[in-house]
């Protein structure tokens, strides 16, 4: 009977200091890994929000130019110089309207530039980048949105072609 008591007396219950340190290290590494994933998810979420807002601003820029063209039936697209523009809102006859002004605009953290360029067409009427003849009734409208994110500059481009709509 003494042997049985000695066996139980030498057997230790509970955790040693080494085991506790190992458990704390494993839990700490797991926590740090989870925090890195959380930080990455927040960064990606912020990046997606910026891209969505930039896409909206680019689309709104193209739509504003389209509204300017549609509002004025006598708008002669052929006399609009090829350059960078911004859109401003003005009140005309108690109505809020868009107007193109040379330059670029800052909207929050975003920079918007609307570029208007002449369009060349080949002899079959297709749009070409080089050669061909300038089509006086078609312009290429490109909206560029730029912003700074994570120590780099990001950009989104949207482009469309506008014609003097009474021509076609």
Domains of the chain: which residue ranges? 15-163
Residues 6 or more apart in contact with residue 85 via CB below 8 angstroms: 100, 101, 102, 103, 113, 114, 115, 116
**For residue 49, what are the CA distances in angstroms to 54, 55, 101, 125, 159?**
9, 10, 28, 40, 21
Tens-digit pLDDT string for the chain (168 aa): 555 555 555 556 666 888 888 888 999 998 888 888 888 888 778 888 999 999 999 999 999 998 888 887 667 777 888 999 998 888 888 888 888 899 999 999 999 999 999 999 999 989 998 888 999 889 999 999 999 988 899 999 999 998 876 654
Q: Tokens 């050669």 belong to which residue?
A: 131
Q: How many Å separate Cα 168 from the centre of its chain?
A: 34
State how far the Cα of 128 lies from the Cα of 32, in Å rounded to an integer.
55
| Predicted TM-score of the model (pTM) | 0.71
Q: How many Å separate Cα 114 from the centre of its chain?
A: 15
């Amino acid at each position: 009977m003494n042997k049985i008591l000695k066996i139980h007396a030498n057997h230790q219950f509970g955790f040693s200091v080494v085991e506790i340190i190992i458990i704390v290290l494993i839990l700490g590494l797991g926590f740090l890994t989870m925090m890195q994933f959380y930080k990455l998810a927040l960064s990606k979420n912020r990046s997606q929000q910026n891209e969505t807002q930039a896409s909206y601003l680019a689309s709104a820029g193209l739509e504003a130019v389209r509204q300017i063209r549609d509002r004025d039936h006598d708008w002669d697209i052929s006399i609009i110089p090829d350059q960078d523009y911004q859109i401003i809102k003005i009140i005309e006859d108690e109505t809020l309207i868009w107007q193109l002004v040379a330059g670029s605009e800052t909207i929050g953290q975003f920079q918007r530039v609307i570029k208007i360029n002449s369009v060349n067409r080949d002899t079959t009427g297709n749009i070409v980048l080089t050669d061909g003849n300038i089509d006086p009734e078609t312009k290429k409208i490109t909206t560029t949105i730029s912003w700074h994110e994570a120590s780099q500059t990001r950009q989104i481009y949207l482009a469309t072609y506008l014609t003097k709509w009474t021509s076609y």
